[in-house]
């Protein structure tokens, strides 16, 4: 019996027990891990198959999960949880699976070569720099979702994640860590990653901060991503009404006309690209903020029963062991394909080019304030004038949203709660300080 046939039989069996809503979630996959660190070089691989069943009625429910394949007759626990209501089936638009799903997973030699190339690229410019840890994970999987409400979807996916931590060559240097994710390991570009490390390490060793300064700020993708992460309480879930009202100006906008934020579960080339979400509902693009006006946050199909909300196809499952939860897939600040970063850079007469963060920072949406440790360069007439480090970018979140004066085309994603992306943006109305 195939896994899908078994899942249908499990659904029928539980429906026969008087449970109207039944869902079977199946996931199988294989992964490889490669690591360079204190323990030397380590390579491992694994294969896993797991399942989860949600079943219930308007009175109670059960959730059970396990490895391998579910047994047709359970045994199933008695329902003792909250009432359960599963989503109805919906038409899923045609989806063209990415071609790289067929590509084989990378081998140990290829993975170690990438990590060594990053280390060599950094040490060639900064002699004495040490690679403390390099970790690569790559895997592919197949997911099936079947339910008593007519959902019957199967799709494949793959992802590769990279974490590298390095220390500078001078005494007392802080470590620098970078985390990235792509759909396959071969998409990581060692020279680009090495360049980012070199910039961060040099700024850490040579950069200084002004006591206090304002001006124009060019925020690199890493800064934009971190600010978008802080906005997740505003962009995810249906309870953000009060925060949105507090941010609106007299024209009803919460941001610049250049500010558009969207989430797209089918983002072409995205790590989490899929035809359906974790409950089998169709994915697609959902605009959260359009030209500075708040449209709606990302909501699941249950919250979309309100007439003013549309389901976003954004229910995600971290694994087969986890219950589904509303969250972003590819949440991004929309780029402008016509604008190069250099165009924004040359437009800055006096200001700063902030290329990365140096810590987590502090964000308070209710008080409309944020403080973020940053590094980069002071700019004069569009050129780097001095290295900057140990500085805090501060101001109100509303000032950042409304102060966007330019958006470039270099959209980049980072792995957070889902993939969060931003291009370089030109912003006014913020301030740099030596201490928060």
What's the pTM value of the predicted model, to 2 decimals?
0.94
Q: Give the tokens for residue 15.
A: 């429906």
- In tens, the pLDDT along 88-113 reads 999 999 999 998 888 899 998 999 89
* Pair (195, 148) in one structural domain: yes
pLDDT tens for 324-352 read 999 999 999 999 999 999 999 999 999 99
DSSP codes of every residue in 366-403? TTTEEEEEEEEEEEETTEEEEEEEEEEEEE-HHHHHHT
- Is there a single domain that holds both residue 257 and residue 194? no
Residue-wise burial string across 62-97, b where 16 or more C-beta atoms lie within 10 A, e elsewhere: bbebeeebbeeeeebeebeeeebebbeebebeeeee
Q: In the structure encoding, which two tokens stand for residue 64, read together?
A: 């059970």
Q: How many domains is the chain partitioned into structurally?
A: 2
Give me the domain span that covers residue 192.
3-206
For the segment 26-68, what is each residue's pLDDT rounded down to a tens digit?
999 999 999 998 888 889 999 999 999 999 999 999 999 999 9
Please give the share of the chain, as a percent, with pLDDT higher than 90.
81
| 299 has a pLDDT exceeding 70 | yes
Domain boundary among 206, 240, 256: 206
Residue indicated by tokens 């437009």: 347
Are 238 and 301 part of one and the same domain? yes
Torsion 255-258-260-261 (CA) sign: negative
Q: Are residues 278 and 394 in the same domain?
A: yes
How distant, in Å, are the alpha carbons of 40, 121, 151, 301, 375 from that of 131?
11, 11, 48, 46, 21
CA distance 113 to 106: 11
- How confident is the model at residue 204, as a pLDDT? 86
Look at 38 and 431; give whichever has higher pLDDT: 431
Say yes or no: 418 and 305 in one domain: yes
Per-residue model confidence (pLDDT) at position 306: 67
**Per-residue confidence (pLDDT) for residue 307, from 0 to 100:** 66
Is 70 exceeded by the pLDDT of residue 421? Answer: yes
* Residue 252 backbone class (left: φ over 0; alpha: ψ -120 to 50; beta: rest): left
Could you report the per-residue pLDDT of 218-247, keeping only the tens digit for each?
Answer: 999 999 999 999 999 999 987 778 888 888
Could you tell me the two tokens for 46? 């694994």
129 touches 168 (CB < 8 A): yes
**Confidence band (pLDDT; 50, 70, 90) for 302?**
confident
Residues 170 and 234 in one domain: no
Mean of pLDDT over the chain:
93
Nearest to 298 by CA among 380, 420, 184: 420
SS3 25: strand
Length of the chain: 436
Looking at 140, 173, 206, which one is the last position of a domain? 206
Same domain, 177 and 247: no
Percentage of the chain lying above the pLDDT 70 cut: 100
Together in a domain, 200 and 311: no
Mean pLDDT for 132-149 is: 96
Give pLDDT tens digits for 365-383.
Answer: 888 999 999 999 999 998 9
Same domain, 223 and 184: no
Range with lowest mean pLDDT among 294-303, 324-333, 411-420: 294-303
CATH number at residue 159: 3.30.2290.10
| Residues facing residue 325 across a β-bridge | 316
Same domain, 179 and 223: no
Q: Are residues 189 and 238 in the same domain?
A: no
Choose one of 187, 206, 225: the last residue of a domain: 206
197, 223: one domain: no
User: Can you tell me the mean pLDDT for 268-277?
Assistant: 96
């Amino acid at each position: 019996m195939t896994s899908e046939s078994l899942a249908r039989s499990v659904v029928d069996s539980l429906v026969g027990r008087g449970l109207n809503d039944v869902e079977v979630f199946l996931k199988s996959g294989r992964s490889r891990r490669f690591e360079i660190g204190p323990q030397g070089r380590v390579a491992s691989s694994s294969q896993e198959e797991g399942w989860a069943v949600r079943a219930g009625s308007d009175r109670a429910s059960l959730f059970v999960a396990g490895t391998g394949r579910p047994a047709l007759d359970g045994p199933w626990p008695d329902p003792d949880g909250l009432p359960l209501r599963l989503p109805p089936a919906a038409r899923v638009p045609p989806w063209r699976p990415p071609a790289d799903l067929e590509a084989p997973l990378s081998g140990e030699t290829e993975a170690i070569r990438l990590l060594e190339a990053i280390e060599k690229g950094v040490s060639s410019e900064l002699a004495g720099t040490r690679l403390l840890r390099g970790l690569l994970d790559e895997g592919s999987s197949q997911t099936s979702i079947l339910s008593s409400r007519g959902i019957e979807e199967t799709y494949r996916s793959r992802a590769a994640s990279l974490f590298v931590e390095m220390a500078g060559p001078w005494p007392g240097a802080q470590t620098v860590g970078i985390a990235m994710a792509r759909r396959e390991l071969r998409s990581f570009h060692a020279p680009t990653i090495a360049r980012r490390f070199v910039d961060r390490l040099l700024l850490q060793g040579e950069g200084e901060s002004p006591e206090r300064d304002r001006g124009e700020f060019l925020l690199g993708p890493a800064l934009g991503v971190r600010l978008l992460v802080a906005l997740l309480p505003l962009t995810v879930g249906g309870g953000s009404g009060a925060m949105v009202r507090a941010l609106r100006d007299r024209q009803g906008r919460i941001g610049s006309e250049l500010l558009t934020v969207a989430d797209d579960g089918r983002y072409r080339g995205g790590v989490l690209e899929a035809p359906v979400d974790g409950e089998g509902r169709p994915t697609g693009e959902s605009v959260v903020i359009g030209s500075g006006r708040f449209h709606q946050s990302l909501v699941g199909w249950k919250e979309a029963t309100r007439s003013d909300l549309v389901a976003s196809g954004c229910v995600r499952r971290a694994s087969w062991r986890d219950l589904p939860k509303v969250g972003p897939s590819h949440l991004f600040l929309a780029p402008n394909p016509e604008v190069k970063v250099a165009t924004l850079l040359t437009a800055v007469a006096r200001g700063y080019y902030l290329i990365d963060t140096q810590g987590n920072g502090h964000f308070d949406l209710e008080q409309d304030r944020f403080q973020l440790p940053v590094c980069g360069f002071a700019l004069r007439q569009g050129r780097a004038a001095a290295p900057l480090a140990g500085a805090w970018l501060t101001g109100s979140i509303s000032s950042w949203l409304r102060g966007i004066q330019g958006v470039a085309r270099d959209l980049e994603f980072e792995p957070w709660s889902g993939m969060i992306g931003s291009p370089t943006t030109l912003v006014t109305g913020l301030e740099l300080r030596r201490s928060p």
